[in-house]
Amino acid sequence: MSVIRLKGQADRRLRAGHQWIYSNEVNTDATPLKQFNAGDQVIVETAHGKPLGVAMINPNTLICGRLISRSTDTVLNKSTIVHRLKIALSLRDSVYPEPYYRLVFGDSDGLSGLVVDRFADILVVQISTAGIERVKHEVIEALQEVVKPSAILMKNDGKMRNVEGLDTYVEEVFGHVPEVVYLKENDVLFQAPVWDGQKTGWFYDHRENRKTMQTFCSGKKVLDVFSYVGGWGVQAAAAGATEVTFIDASEAALDHVDANLALNQYEGESNLMQGDAFEAMNALIEEKQRFDVVVMDPPAFIARRKDIKAGEGAYHRANQLAMRLVAKGGILVSGSCSMHLETGRLHDIVRSNSRQLERFSQLIYRGTQAPDHPVHPAIPETEYLKALFYRVHNNMGL
């Protein structure tokens, strides 16, 4: 294999356990990046020529290298993928009694740029790096060998593919994948639109947080903002909520909410509000509506570091509206999937809203991503999800 050589001290992060190499860390005088093709596998050396391992390379991106192995004898081929899939599968099967989970979570499972969600015997795969795209067929063969699925869908339409210079496409690569697939989470049934839905069609990451939310919902009135297909609200309904209101911009997503309520034979009252979430919450405030449980789980308002200021403003506005809709003594669930928004900063946003609205809020639970989204201890980027639960009262003079 060819070699890339790092600049002096540029190996520190890798030695500490991280797996990414930035283009400004490469000694391009000694090893010009332009000599490589996207997806090549190369040996990584320190500034002094000591080998650090093997990486997938993309000369056209800021993150130009992703470490595959710390041994120069190991490359990313079918054998390596099979081995890592078996390790990933053993974790999920030890945690979950049924085959509904994220099977592969990128860097955390040693397969940077690969995500695989499992819906029983159907797999939905997302590839976001040129290196994994280069070994796509090996990935498919390895999944067939380890999991033995009936069908595999490649859902390769994410924004990261554009960054990597990859085409976007959605296609069956094995078997037949229906428009919707079925899953069970916390003993609640769902259909997920894997072809046309967001990401892989479902978000397993909030599984444990939704389970916690259920404990507050029996006999209660619940609001699910940015509901998508009802991951939160339908589980609230299944937990005994008497009334659930769903807000989402997508009419198609709300159709799936209706179907998911029917799957669980919900007999309470459901309200589907299609439109902008901020406008919908303002309308509910004008109607003097109040809810015992309000779930605020928006899309990532902070996609990149440069979006932090604007994104924090969006989180502030969204949580302020949500807090105004919480009934006295009710529960606010404030979620975020923005990696660039730290948990403490989200707490600060809710705290400042409490003061502005003269509410007395108590943080009662801190949630994070489920075990099928493991955190790599040396890669902070793999820890992105947070869910903060607050009990909200009137000011109480405090």
Which positions are annotated as active-site residues? 337
Nearest alpha-carbon partner for 376 in 11, 83, 110: 110
Q: How far apart are the first and last CA of the chain?
A: 66
- By the 8 A CB rule, do 139 and 79 touch? no
Question: Measured between alpha carbons, how far is residue 75 from residues 72, 144, 336, 381 in Å?
Answer: 8, 20, 36, 24
Those residues whose C-beta lies under 8 Å from the C-beta of residue 171, and which sit 6 or more positions away, are: 153, 154
Q: How far from the centroid of its chain's Cα atoms is residue 202's Cα?
A: 9
Whose tokens are 């989402």? That residue is: 248
Rounded Cα distance, 318 and 74, in Å: 48
Residues 6+ apart with CB under 8 A from 187: 238
Q: Any idea what the Cα angle at residue 223 is, between residues 219 and 226, rounded to 5°? A: 150
Cα separation, 286 vs 249, whole angstroms: 20
Residue 231 has φ and ψ, to the nearest 5°, of: -55, -40
Convert 314-324 to b/e letters by CB count within 10 Å (16 or more is b).
bbbebbbbbbb
